[in-house]
């Protein structure tokens, strides 16, 4: 940036971040991102480069300025013009849809802090803002390359293991992402059954060894197919909890060096170490039914693991696994009570999934609606836009059940 010194008018607070998106839709999306990170959504505005240039000329520049360069014929010239009106302590982050390594290098040489290609996942956006606002954070080496996805049910019997296995299979086969499934239910784990593996899968050894490195994990993990691996153990009701939370987090970080996505199957009983994984995961997925009990359990769990202000994605997913259950509440009531919207509702697959296990590993293709919903969930968990709109069939079925339930109670 240039050496211009800008004097802030008295009583005019300088915002920590300002984002100028090229379109109103992008401004709304990034406004939601900022709100999840604990910042006002109004800090994301439409207008792109022209609005950013005008804003910096009229008022004090923010601590971090994020500008969408889409539509600019000469992005480097646009950055140079911004540099003329921004003070030297203003960090500039560029947005754009162009995937060009040469452009990225040229922007860095022009003084840009970072360049983000759209669509931008929430965790990547949060990490970039954190590094821009904290100069010391940008000096720390980033050893993690993968994403941790922690999945648990707010109550027992919410289909966590099935959802984890389905996500692992679909991320590996249809999203071509190198993935690992960690079956952390050490007493009753069934990922080996769901994924078609016979025997131990290295989890007990990984938890009991003093040193964890990539070569050790490569030998311990069970290979399911070319892109999918399993870390688990034979069910053991007497399994000792001798490992520390720090050791468990180091295991997760080591897995993230080997895989793009690491999916944790966490039992609803909150066994030793489960909360640590939930607290530090990049994406937390909570499975629930729309019942009074699940609403209370979900509220307690949300208070325990925190919100999205650190850039960790939180997804609340309805999974109505008990057809005919009468203790149901309206979806809007459920969301109002827990203080978080339901991001997706999975359609009930009946006995199709259970029947498929009699012929071998889990086959989500036998339930096409569920498979598509799991693909949408996989995209949401990875910070991408789902390939299709979330299925409404599950919500429609739920409302029909609620209506039938009210009729039965009245009778």
The predicted structure's pLDDT at residue 328: 80
3-state secondary structure 145-211: CCEEEEEEECCCCCCHHHHHHHHHHHHHHCCCCCEEEEECCCCCCCHHHHHCCCCCEEHHHHHHCCC
Supply the Cα-derived Rg of the chain in whole angstroms.
24
Please determine whether the domains at 17-139 and 147-410 fall in the same fold group of CATH: yes
Would the pLDDT of 143 be above 70? no
Would the pLDDT of 6 be above 80? no
CATH for the stretch 147-410 = 3.40.50.300
The predicted structure's pLDDT at residue 135: 61
The predicted structure's pLDDT at residue 213: 73
**How buried is residue 242: exposed, middle or buried, by Cβ count under 10 Å (0-12/13-18/19+)?**
exposed
Would the pLDDT of 377 be above 90? yes
Range of weakest confidence among 324-333, 348-357, 385-394: 385-394
Would the pLDDT of 114 be above 80? yes
The predicted structure's pLDDT at residue 385: 77
Positive or negative, the CA dihedral 202, 207, 208, 210 is positive
**pLDDT tens digits, one per residue of 86-110:** 888 888 999 988 887 788 888 888 8
Q: Which residue has the tokens 């991320």?
A: 171
Whole-angstrom distance, CA of residue 149 vs CA of residue 256? 11
Residue 305: band (very low, low, confident or very high) from pLDDT cuts 50, 70, 90 = confident
Residue 376: band (very low, low, confident or very high) from pLDDT cuts 50, 70, 90 = very high
Residue 163: band (very low, low, confident or very high) from pLDDT cuts 50, 70, 90 = very high
Three-state DSSP class for 344? Answer: strand
Would the pLDDT of 237 be above 60? yes
The predicted structure's pLDDT at residue 37: 84
The predicted structure's pLDDT at residue 323: 56
Would the pLDDT of 8 be above 80? no
Positions of E strands within 237-340: 261-266, 283-288, 313-318
- The rounded mean pLDDT for the chain is 81
Between these two residues, 11 and 148, which has the higher pLDDT value? 148
**pLDDT tens digits, one per residue of 64-93:** 999 999 888 888 888 888 888 888 888 899
Would the pLDDT of 395 be above 70? no
List, in order, residues 6 or more apart from 14 with CB less than 8 Å away. Answer: 8, 60, 61, 62, 63
Contact 154, 295 (CB under 8 A): no
So where are the chain's domains? 17-139, 147-410
**pLDDT tens digits, one per residue of 176-230:** 889 999 998 887 888 888 998 887 788 888 888 877 777 788 878 888 988 899 9
**pLDDT tens digits, one per residue of 250-262:** 888 889 888 989 9
The predicted structure's pLDDT at residue 210: 77
Share of the chain above pLDDT 70, in %: 85
Mean pLDDT of 13-23: 86
Contact 103, 115 (CB under 8 A): yes
Between these two residues, 199 and 24, which has the higher pLDDT value? 24
Between these two residues, 313 and 6, which has the higher pLDDT value? 313
The predicted structure's pLDDT at residue 361: 87
Token pair belonging to 199: 């025997």
Whole-angstrom distance, CA of residue 151 vs CA of residue 138? 30
CATH for the stretch 17-139 = 3.40.50.2300
Between these two residues, 229 and 385, which has the higher pLDDT value? 229
The predicted structure's pLDDT at residue 238: 67
The residue count of the chain comes to: 411
Q: Which residue has the tokens 């759209």?
A: 118
The predicted structure's pLDDT at residue 228: 93
pTM for this predicted structure: 0.69
């Amino acid at each position: 940036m240039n050496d211009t010194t800008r004097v802030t008018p008295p009583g005019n607070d300088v915002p920590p971040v300002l984002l100028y998106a090229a379109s109103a839709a992008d401004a709304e999306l990034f406004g939601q991102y900022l709100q999840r990170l604990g910042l006002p959504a109004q800090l994301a505005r439409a207008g792109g480069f022209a609005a950013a240039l005008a804003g910096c000329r009229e008022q004090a520049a923010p601590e971090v300025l994020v500008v969408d360069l889409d539509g600019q014929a000469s992005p480097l010239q646009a950055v140079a013009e911004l540099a003329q009106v921004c003070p030297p302590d203003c960090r500039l982050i560029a947005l754009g849809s162009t995937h060009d390594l040469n452009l990225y290098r040229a922007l860095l040489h022009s003084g840009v802090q970072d360049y983000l290609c759209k669509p931008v996942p929430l965790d990547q956006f949060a990490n970039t803002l954190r590094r821009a606002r904290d100069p010391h954070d940008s000096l720390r080496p980033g050893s993690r390359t993968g994403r941790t996805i922690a999945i648990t049910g707010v109550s027992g019997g919410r289909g966590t293991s099935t959802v984890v296995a389905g996500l692992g299979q679909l991320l590996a086969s249809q999203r071509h992402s190198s993935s690992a499934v960690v079956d952390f239910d050490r007493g009753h784990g069934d990922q080996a059954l769901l994924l078609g593996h016979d025997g131990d899968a290295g989890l007990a050894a990984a938890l009991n060894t003093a040193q964890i490195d990539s070569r050790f994990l490569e030998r311990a993990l069970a290979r399911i197919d070319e892109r999918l691996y399993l870390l688990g153990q034979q069910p053991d009701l007497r399994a000792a909890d001798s490992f520390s939370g720090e050791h468990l987090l180091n295991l997760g970080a080591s897995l993230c060096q080997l895989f793009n996505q690491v999916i944790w199957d966490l039992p609803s009983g909150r066994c030793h170490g489960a909360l640590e994984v939930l607290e530090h995961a990049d994406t937390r997925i909570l499975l629930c039914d729309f019942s009074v009990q699940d609403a209370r359990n979900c509220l307690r769990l949300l208070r325990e693991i925190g919100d999205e202000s650190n850039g960790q994605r939180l997804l609340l997913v309805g999974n109505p696994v008990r057809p005919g259950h009468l203790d149901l509440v309206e979806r809007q009531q459920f969301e109002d009570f827990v203080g978080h919207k339901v991001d997706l509702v999975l359609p009930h697959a009946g006995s199709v999934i259970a029947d498929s296990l009699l012929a071998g590993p889990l086959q989500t293709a036998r339930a096409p609606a569920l498979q598509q919903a799991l693909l949408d969930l996989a995209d949401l968990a990875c910070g991408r836009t789902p390939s299709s709109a979330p299925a409404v069939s599950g919500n429609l079925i739920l409302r029909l059940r609620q209506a039938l339930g009210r009729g039965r109670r009245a009778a």
